[in-house]
Amino acid sequence: MYGNAYIDPNDKAAAMIANEDPQKLEAFEKRIAAGEKIEPKDWMPKEYRKQLIRMIEQHAHSEIIGALPEGTWITRAPGFRRKLALMAKVQDEVGHAQLLYSAAETLGKSREAMINDLIIGKSKYSNVFNYPAFTWADACIIAWLIDAGAIINQVANAKGSYGPYCRALDRICTEESFHLKYGHDNVVTLATGTQKQREMVQGALTRWWPPIMHFFGPSDKISNHTEILMRWKVKMASNDDMRQQFLNMYVPKIWDLGLVIPDPNLKKNEEGVWEYTEPDWDEFKKVINGGGPCNAERLAVRRNAEERGRWVREALNTTESKYIVPLA
């Protein structure tokens, strides 16, 4: 998992390159067009730096917040095999946060500042984690389908232009591919299991379908702003394209298991495009702005963890320790 970073559509395109040195900007864009990676010490437009920090930071937050709904099932996982696998999976996610915070730090914002912005509600994380994981099957659906969605997003972003982020994503995607197998194996076990297990997994899919459809974000308006971000290889694929890719890869697999997707309009049309009931974007906006079932709880847990751990961090902060920005 977990990130599905997206760009604020309200930013104005013109403002993005205002006050930048045109020659430097041109050279920068040429390098990107030639497929080169931008590295931390290289010149970059202010807006490029800002959008990347925001995107990577949001991705990192999604990893640690995403560890909460799944983490609650570690202590209840049924049997050694599942318990060990889930522990390893969630540990990977926290490790991804560590990698991503380091990647974002190369752009000049410290991990502490990022975590602080998270707990005061200033920066966002993936909206899906504002929903609860009611049953074991919810954790299994998350591991399969949310991770699947994240892989689509991250494989695209791994081809972006910022070196440290791309390298972190390459490693993350490799680990995610195991999570996907883990999640799929769990869902297959439940879907082909006893009556109680089948009901459990169907219930989870029904609950998680709307957040999954929300996962890639609303249709992007093709603005100059989006165009610049795509030229800079910050944004790599449109939200709708990623959603289509997801549906194409996973709907057949879900149907194969005899599970019912709660959308009567879902079908692939003659042009090979998936049609579906338009997700409720008002609900999406409400949740992203703090009105979801678990927003308050997730941030409270995170805040509490930060508070309880403060004395440990203070103890580490000795006179001989000094802050070092990671290299990449």
Asked whether position 10 contacts another protein by CB under 8 A, the answer is no
Report, in Å, the least distance between residue 97 CB and another protein.
6
How far is residue 162's CA from residue 173's CA, in Å, rounded to a whole number?
16
Binding-site size, another protein (CB under 8 A): 42
How far is residue 139's CA from residue 86's CA, in Å, rounded to a whole number?
9
Asked whether position 188 contacts another protein by CB under 8 A, the answer is no
HSE of 279, CA atoms in CB hemisphere, 13 A: 19
CA distances, 56 to each of 75, 118, 144, 310 (Å): 30, 13, 23, 24
CB 166 within 8 Å of CB 160: yes
Element (H, E) at 113: helix 111-119
Contacts of 131 (CB under 8 A, 6+ apart): 69, 207, 208, 211, 287, 292, 293, 294
How far is residue 16's CA from residue 130's CA, in Å, rounded to a whole number?
31
Q: Which of residues 12-51 bind another protein (CB under 8 A)?
A: none
Q: Which stretch binds another protein (CB under 8 A): 33-41, 60-68, 146-154, 241-249?
A: 60-68
DSSP state of 262: S
Asked whether position 308 contacts another protein by CB under 8 A, the answer is yes
Asked whether position 314 contacts another protein by CB under 8 A, the answer is yes
Report, in Å, the least distance between residue 154 CB and another protein.
19
Asked whether position 97 contacts another protein by CB under 8 A, the answer is yes
Site track for another protein across 237-276, x = CB under 8 A: ----------------------------------------
Q: Which of 251, 261, 288, 301 binds another protein (CB under 8 A)?
A: 301
Q: Which of 18, 27, 33, 94 binds another protein (CB under 8 A)?
A: 94
Q: How many CB atoms lie within 10 A of CB 252?
A: 10
Q: Which of 113, 173, 288, 305 binds another protein (CB under 8 A)?
A: 305
Asked whether position 158 contacts another protein by CB under 8 A, the answer is no
Residue ranges in contact with another protein by CB under 8 A: 64, 67-68, 71, 73-80, 82-84, 87-88, 90-91, 94-95, 97-98, 101, 136, 189, 193-194, 196-197, 301, 305, 308-316, 318
